[in-house]
Structure 1
Amino acid sequence: MTDTTQFATFMLVLLVFWPSYNLVLALFAWWRPKPGGPEVPSRHPLQYWIIIPALNEERVVANTVRSALALDGARTPVQVVVVDDGSDDRTPNVLAEIDDHRLHVLRRNLPDARKGKGEALNHAFRYVRGIAEENGTVHRTIIGVIDGDGRGEPGMLSEITQYFAQRGVGAVQCRVRIHNRDNLLAFLQDLEFSCVVDASQSLRDVVGTVGLGGNGQFVRLSTLMELGDAPWSACLVEDLELGLRVHLTGQRIRYATHATITQQGLIDVNRLLRQRTRWGQGNLQCLGYVPKLLKAKHVGSVALLEFLQYLLTPWLVAPMTLLITALVGIGFYVQFSGHEIDGFSASGSNALLALGIWAVALLLPGLIWSAVHRLRHADEPLWRCLAVGLAYPGFLILGSISTLRALFRHFAGRNSWAKTERLAEKEIPAGKPVPKIA
């Protein structure tokens, strides 16, 4: 076999691997095992404290607070803490108009404010810790984090409570969906979170490597206290780092497959690139935990491989993107230039076969996930699901561009970020039930 033939064979393997991987992941998500494990009944209900970090959230914070307060129940009592992190818009006024004794507003002013989401969460953590220590309820206090644009599904805390009844569970991560998915770009993000990420987290739940997300994370207060006075860091993805720190304590993080948090999707490509670049850069910052994971005796070999997979992915995606782009360029060059390179050129029926292989490899993953979305959620028409499936390859290209930008910013030492502006929403009237998420 010639070198060029070997090269072409390698390219074909790459093309076949990608749709195959997505198909296996989708099938696993469809037939995933039901959550299980021994439950320990509690005489006293868990006390939920939901923290909402708010910096210039006047457009969305009222709906977020009301939906969080609506999670309150007889067995899931809720208190809500909003950290106004130095807002200079109408956020303080909007919060002042919400008259509810379960709402606690913590106002941070400059120069202490605006030092990142992690520091705002730490401020609220210390506030809740003080109250729990005074009341003697540390052991049954749960801290949840919902972003300024987040909406919790009614009844979701019942499922989360079931997970916390299991021994050794230190945190629970909820499923995330996008509630403004009438926009194609936002719908692509819903496909990503509610199908692809949902399947990945379900797989991690089996091997014990579930990661925490910035929205919809719930952690025992006692677990956070083990991590010191500031459990959240200044990392650009403070949620990922917190999840790794929880795993290193030997406690487990579970993934709630039905409890759902919705958030706004970004409808502007530039803002999406900026968000994903920050995520990629934050992932790179967490590489320092690799040696600690390697030394952790309680982390099994399968779990270790899964941890390394999602920590090292940003380092691998960029060169792989360049490699596949080069291969595609070579393939098209030899196909249409008339030059013969063994393994890359085709003619007649072979050319049609080659184009068919390319089309299937590029489009099949998106169509697989669009079918999963339609069958599982049934809240979007079939034609929209097919459209978003066909657009999925372009969405992945945006992710690769973000990864390359993250690598550049990481090595350039550029860590500053501007907050993403929210979209205006129709306000949920006070006293009205929060709509159930489809």
Structure 2
Amino acid sequence: MTAAHSWYLVIAGYAIMLAWPVSTLALVSFALRYVASHRTALVSRSLERGDGTPQHFWIIVPALNEEVVVGNTVNAALALGGPGGTLARVLVVDDGSDDRTPEVLAAIDHPRLQVLRRDLPEARQGKGEALNAAYRYIAERTAEAGIDPERVVIGIIDGDGQGSRNILLEVSRMMRDTRIGAVQVQVRIRNRDKLLGAVQDLEFGAIVNACQSLRDTIDTVGLGGNGQFTRLSALLALGDAPWSACLVEDLELGLRMHLDGVGIRYTARASVTQQAVVDLRRLTRQRTRWAQGNIQCVRYLRRLMAAKQITTTSLLEVMHYLISPWINAVVTVVLIVATAAATVGLLAGHPVPYLNTWSALAETGGIWFAVTFFPGFVWALVHRHRLRDESLRRLLTAAAAYPIFLLLGLIATYRAIGRQATGRQAWAKTERLAEEPLAPQSLQHALAA
């Protein structure tokens, strides 16, 4: 290997390492400076396309063995109000629960609560099928009442979710634009007093928020499993089963809507809170499922590339979202192998050309260390600046743990590839943590959060 080739390798290695912090700073700059002005302009122009303000709201709560959390979730959902005092109807899909979930639901006596019980063998075929059953129920009731499906919005709040008090008002504000068929609200973590909870809130409250805000400006917003709101008319256009058996049925629904020309918007002015997974084994299992779902959605890239309504910028962002985890996994292996080879070469007295001294190896290690920890601390400052509901000390602690969190993501990526290659699709449900029942005062506080 020539000296010139060695320098090319060094330059390429540093470029790979520095790409992450540089892109982080660019995304932070965008999130802090551009989003507010864009959102104001977007909403101010929305009525130019007519007034599509929703008039009817349904909240679907998919429930499988949710006895420890579903009571709080349903009570919080029943308290949500929309424009003009409109109140949401809540439809819980009990997907074959064999714990006390049916008893908890039966104890909630409310005229706007309905429970759709699915028993085996129909039950437990995945969250997507449970949502489809609820959607068909709502579509039938809407048709029977003679209501325009354009004016009906279906929201998804998971069994451990609680929406902010203004969530229906904010969704309505976004959907005044008749072109908008779906809205995704911000997701936050409730049990962020735990370290893993704080790290996941850093992820959702700062990083995901910035990414979704960027996608909002180029019409590539992705739908999440919690806090997604869609017009019934947009779902009807997708047929009898809008949600699929994909392991990330929410991501796939968003891709199908983009292909159908449906506008999707993101808002951080309303939020839904959920529980963090605070067990490392269960967290890795959850992220493996998400990663495997991403693999399953890669098949949509060909259709997206052929779709005339998808701009080049939008396509590149979707490709980045779907493919970047696998690129990161490969690059990490390459960097580890290159560093290991350099270390072995120095120990054996045969240094590799690109790291031929211990000082060069130490310098590279120092840069790698700084690059690994730098983005987390930047996002901690963004979180503190934007949300101001966590102490700087806790956020910095979460930032210090963030690289370990990313390592779990890499492990999940490799596991997902293995599972997809071997055809494994079955998943155990994520366990919930018990919570105290919400008293009326606590309920109002939770909804205002």
* Smaller-chain TM-score bracket: over 0.9
Aligned twin of 1:66:
75
Distance 1:401 1:358 in 2: 19
User: Offset of 1:399 from its aligned partner?
Assistant: 0.3
User: Offset of 1:100 from its aligned partner?
Assistant: 0.9
User: Offset of 1:9 from its aligned partner?
Assistant: 1.8
AA of the residue aligned to 1:3: H
User: Offset of 1:347 from its aligned partner?
Assistant: 5.1
User: Offset of 1:323 from its aligned partner?
Assistant: 1.2
Aligned twin of 1:56:
65
Change (3 A) 1:43 1:164: closer
Aligned residues: 437
Aligned twin of 2:380:
370
Within the candidate set 253, 259, 264, 1:253 is matched to 264
- For 1:36-435, list aligned pairs within 5 A: 36-37=42-43, 38-40=45-47, 42=51, 45-73=54-82, 74-137=84-147, 138-333=149-344, 339-346=350-357, 353-429=363-439, 432-435=443-446
Q: Which has the higher helix share?
A: 2
Q: Deviations over 1:236-279 (max 9, x none)?
A: 10001100111111111100122101100001111111111111
Distance 2:81 2:342 in 1: 59
Distance 1:19 1:407 in 2: 27
Identity over the aligned pairs, expressed in percent?
Answer: 49
- 8 A Cα contact 2:54 2:153, kept in partner: no
- 8 A Cα contact 1:283 1:314, kept in partner: no
Using structure 2 for the length normalisation, give the TM-score.
0.93
User: Offset of 1:331 from its aligned partner?
Assistant: 4.6
Unaligned runs of 5+ in 1: none
AA of the residue aligned to 1:146: I
Distance 1:364 1:377 in 2: 20
Q: Deviations over 1:287-344 (max 9, x none)?
A: 2211111111111111111111112234323322211221332354456666533331
Using structure 1 for the length normalisation, give the TM-score.
0.95
Distance 2:334 2:212 in 1: 28
The 3-state SS of whatever aligns with 1:213 is coil
Aligned twin of 2:23:
21
Change (3 A) 1:318 1:238: same
Change (3 A) 1:193 1:332: farther
The 3-state SS of whatever aligns with 1:435 is helix
The 3-state SS of whatever aligns with 2:446 is coil
Change (3 A) 1:199 1:44: closer
User: Offset of 1:403 from its aligned partner?
Assistant: 0.4
Change (3 A) 1:336 1:262: farther
How large is the RMSD of aligned CA atoms in angstroms?
A: 1.9
Moved more, 37-46 or 123-132: 37-46
Distance 1:375 1:214 in 2: 27
Distance 1:290 1:233 in 2: 17
- 8 A Cα contact 2:164 2:271, kept in partner: yes
Change (3 A) 1:339 1:392: farther
Which portions of structure 1, spanning 4 or more consecutive aligned residues, are displaced by more than 4 angstroms? 41-45, 331-339, 350-353
Q: Deviations over 1:113-142 (max 9, x none)?
A: 111100100111011111111222222000
Change (3 A) 1:190 1:183: same
Q: Deviations over 1:152-204 (max 9, x none)?
A: 01112111111111131110001101100111111111111111111111110
User: Offset of 1:29 from its aligned partner?
Assistant: 1.2
User: Offset of 1:46 from its aligned partner?
Assistant: 2.0
User: Offset of 1:430 from its aligned partner?
Assistant: 5.3
AA of the residue aligned to 1:129: A
Q: Deviations over 1:333-368 (max 9, x none)?
A: 4566665333314456x6664444223211111111
Q: Deviations over 1:28-51 (max 9, x none)?
A: 111233311423364975211000
Q: Deviations over 1:410-436 (max 9, x none)?
A: 010000111111111111025852424
Distance 1:320 1:274 in 2: 23
Moved more, 25-34 or 76-85: 25-34
Change (3 A) 1:346 1:297: same
User: Offset of 1:391 from its aligned partner?
Assistant: 1.3
- 8 A Cα contact 1:52 1:148, kept in partner: yes
Distance 1:388 1:335 in 2: 36
AA of the residue aligned to 2:22: S
- 8 A Cα contact 2:56 2:153, kept in partner: yes
